[in-house]
Amino acid sequence: MEKILVLGGKGGVGKSSISAATAVLLSDLLPNKKILLISFDMAHNLSDLFQLEINNKLTPLSRNLWGIEPDANIYAEEYTKELIQKMKTLMIQMPIVGMIPQIEKFIDKTFTANSIPLALKNAMFFQKILDAEDINTDDVQFDIVIADFPPTANMITLFEIPEDQVKVVLKYSLNFYNSIKGAIRNVSKMWRNIIKPFDDREQRRELGKEIFNMIVELEKRGERISDLIHDIGSLRLVTIAEKPSFEEIKRARDLTEKYIKLEGVHINMITPEAKKCDFCNILHSNQLKYIKEIKSEFKKLKIWQSKRLKEEPIGINGLKKLAYEIYGVDINAENILNPKI
Ligand SMILES: Nc1ncnc2c1ncn2[C@@H]1O[C@H](COP(=O)(O)OP(=O)(O)OP(=O)(O)O)[C@@H](O)[C@H]1O
Ligand SMILES: [Mg+2]
């Protein structure tokens, strides 16, 4: 893995379109690299952009480009199902505890996919993608990942890994596990004095270890993805030349600073000037004011400007047009991946 590009910004400014356009262009410029376009927006729209059904499976979009709109819940559910099964097996084997009729219900309620924070679910999923684990295609290891993120507020929850959220889940699970373990010990002692224990302690210990390892692994997943985003992640904020989305990217810059390096700003959907269109020219001159402000606010960063195209940039060709509008026709991949000003 060389680089993870993350596109963020206010709703509707063109994050998904620019992510997809960038992915298409990079796949052309770098035929020997494997590229993944992944949507972390709950309201996925990669399928619309490529006019192809993408969904929750890795879908080839060109020879070296794949897309996915993951359903992090499905993966988290599979994962918690395994954890629940192990917990149940462990508890049902316990003397007394196993006889409590509510115990199964309690486990079912405690360990659900819903109790895992979305950020962690996505991290678990991202990790799965990065490891190319369980993927139908032959073990694809990606060189470049382009992540289309939801608008800022939701984007932050994706970055809040692992500092708070994983720790919460982990602490909660460990407390729960320890209290159960304590209970087993006490109950076993009591029983040992009365009758010979009929359960297999060795097997229980093994199961306990497995559960513990699963929880630790959960934390590691969160941590690994955080480190990766920190090391090779590159945030690009998308705005249009208007006040609300400009305000939003300033906020996004401040909120994401500790998680990911900001490397560029896209000013999208600039209204082109036109000889016979006074309205366009008025819009354009209003936008120029904001373009100037954006440039001065993000002085040290690469600024890419793109006009509003006449046609919606969809399908591979539409997206390529948008990519050339953004990066120019002479662009090389290095200037997209590691932009210099
Ligand atoms: N430069 C452009 N020229 C013309 N149309 C554009 C351009 N960029 C984006 N669009 C169109 O604007 C609309 C919004 O774009 P897009 O879905 O990429 O935004 P988004 O920021 O991902 O939105 P959301 O926050 O809802 O995910 C789409 O219909 C897209 O085709
Ligand atoms: Mg989008």
Number of domains in the chain: 2
| Residues 187, 271 within the same domain | no
Task: Choose between 187 and 15: higher pLDDT.
Answer: 15
pLDDT at position 191: 53
- Report the CATH number that the domain containing residue 270 is assigned in CATH: 3.40.50.300
Closest ligand to the CA of 268: 1
Ligand lying nearest the CA atom of residue 237:
1
The pLDDT of residue 190 is above 90: no
Q: Is the CB of 313 under 6 A from ligand 1?
A: yes
Question: Mean pLDDT of all residues in the chain?
Answer: 81
* pTM for the structure as a whole: 0.81
In a domain, 327, yes or no: yes
Same structural domain, 219 and 103: yes
Pair 185, 252 in one domain: no
Q: Please give the distance, rounded to the nearest whole angstrom, from the Cα atom of residue 11 to the centre of ligand 1.
A: 9
In this prediction, residues 241-247 reach a mean pLDDT of 97
Taking the CA of residue 151 as reference, the ligand 1 atom at the shortest distance is 25
pLDDT for 175: 59
CA of residue 209 to ligand 2 center, whole Å: 42
Q: Is residue 148 part of a domain?
A: yes
3-state secondary structure string across the chain? CCEEEEEEECCCCCHHHHHHHHHHHHHHHCCCCCEEEEECCCCCCHHHHHCCCCCCCCEEEECCEEEECCCHHHHHHHHHHHHHHHHHHHHHCCCCHHHCCCHHHHHHHHCCHHHCCHHHHHHHHHHHHHHCCCCCCCCCCCCEEEEECCCHHHHHHHHCCCCCHHHHHHHHHHHHHHHHHHHHHHHHHHHHHHCCCCCCHHHHHHHHHHHHHHHHHHHHHHHHHHHHHHHHEEEEEEEECCHHHHHHHHHHHHHHCCCCEEEEEEEEEECCCCCCCHHHHHHHHHHHHHHHHHHHHCCCCEEEEEECCCCCCCHHHHHHHHHHHHHCCCCCHHHHHCCCC
Task: For residue range 130-178, list pLDDT tens digits in order.
Answer: 654 444 445 568 899 999 887 766 666 666 544 444 445 555 555 555 6
Structural domain boundaries, residue 92: 74-124+159-223
Residues 194 and 304 in one domain: no
